[in-house]
Amino acid sequence: MKTYTHSKFKALAAHRKPAGQDLGYALVQFLLAFGSAAFWIGLCTLAALFAPAAQAQVVAAGAGANSALQGQVEGLIKQQGMPKAMDSDAGAKQKPWRVEVVLGQLDPRLKLAPCDKVRTYMPVGMQMWGRTRVGLRCEQGAVHWNVFWPVTVKVWGMALVTASPLRPGIVINSADLILGEVDLASQASPAVTRMADVIGRSVVKNMEAGQSLRHDDVKARRWFAAGDPVRLTVRGDGFQVASDGTALTPGDEGRCAKIRTDNGRVVCGQPIGDRLVELSL
């Protein structure tokens, strides 16, 4: 018996059908059609078998998996040290800070491959303060993924809030501020806790009554101008030296001011008062 390849079937089909050979011609057409179908079925089967492995491994985490991950995040948070009020903060002795931790959720569009061992960790630089996050890393699984669970740490403590609306340019007095409980961690700028730090200054933006006053909300004091004579105090471990100098830059509170000393050396110190500069070694 002769064996025909797929190309030979085509060649046979290309010939004009001889008279009296209808049965043979129909058989050739059937075998040609069957061969084409088998060829494409085989090709599709091979494509399915050799599809990229990553596509087969990536599946939805599901509600159960997310619940388990959340439990691990909660366990790690309980091991972390929570923020505590310092004695220098207003009202800290009377009312300690109240910490509230709010867990977010992973993006519902996120697909995670199954994992036999997930390790939770605090990313470098992350603290239990304000908006932070907890890392989740798959260490044993087909796909080693790494995701971050959003966490918000609210720290409620006593700080200054506006008793009435404040407008830029108006000098702040003691009647404009009262103590109130605020979320100290809600903003990057620290909350103002001491009245003496802001009396006589003005805000840089409009503020409504009841708002927490932040250091960035208050215009910085300018203790001296460039060219003014200043008194420089250098503090170190067990010693203190004072000398005179000349300001090369304005002495704005919270910013380094360049000072030229009497011997010609240029240093950078912190303005702390009227023509007073301090340098810590």
- Domain segments of the chain as ranges: 6-49, 57-153, 157-217, 222-280
- Cβ–Cβ under 8 Å, residues 97 and 153: no
Spatial distance between the Cα atoms of 56 and 132, rounded to a whole number of angstroms: 33
* Tokens found for residue 109: 């569009």
Cα-trace Rg, the chain = 38
Name the CATH code of domain 222-280 (choices 2.30.30.760, 2.60.40.1930, 3.40.30.10, 3.40.350.10): 2.30.30.760
What does the pLDDT profile of the chain (281 residues) look like in tens digits? Answer: 333 344 443 444 444 444 444 544 444 454 444 444 444 444 444 433 333 332 222 222 334 457 889 999 999 999 999 998 865 444 445 578 999 999 999 988 888 999 999 999 999 999 999 999 999 999 999 999 999 999 999 999 999 999 999 999 889 999 999 999 999 999 999 999 999 889 989 999 999 999 999 999 999 888 999 999 999 999 988 899 999 999 999 999 888 999 999 899 999 999 999 999 999 88
Q: Give me the count of residues in the chain.
A: 281
CA distance 137 to 140: 9
Distance CA 201, CA 162 (A): 14
Kindly report the pTM of this predicted structure. 0.61
The CATH code of domain 157-217 reads: 3.90.1210.10
- Least Cα distance to 121 among 77, 151, 67, 65 occurs for 77
The answer to whether domain 157-217 and domain 222-280 are alike in fold is no
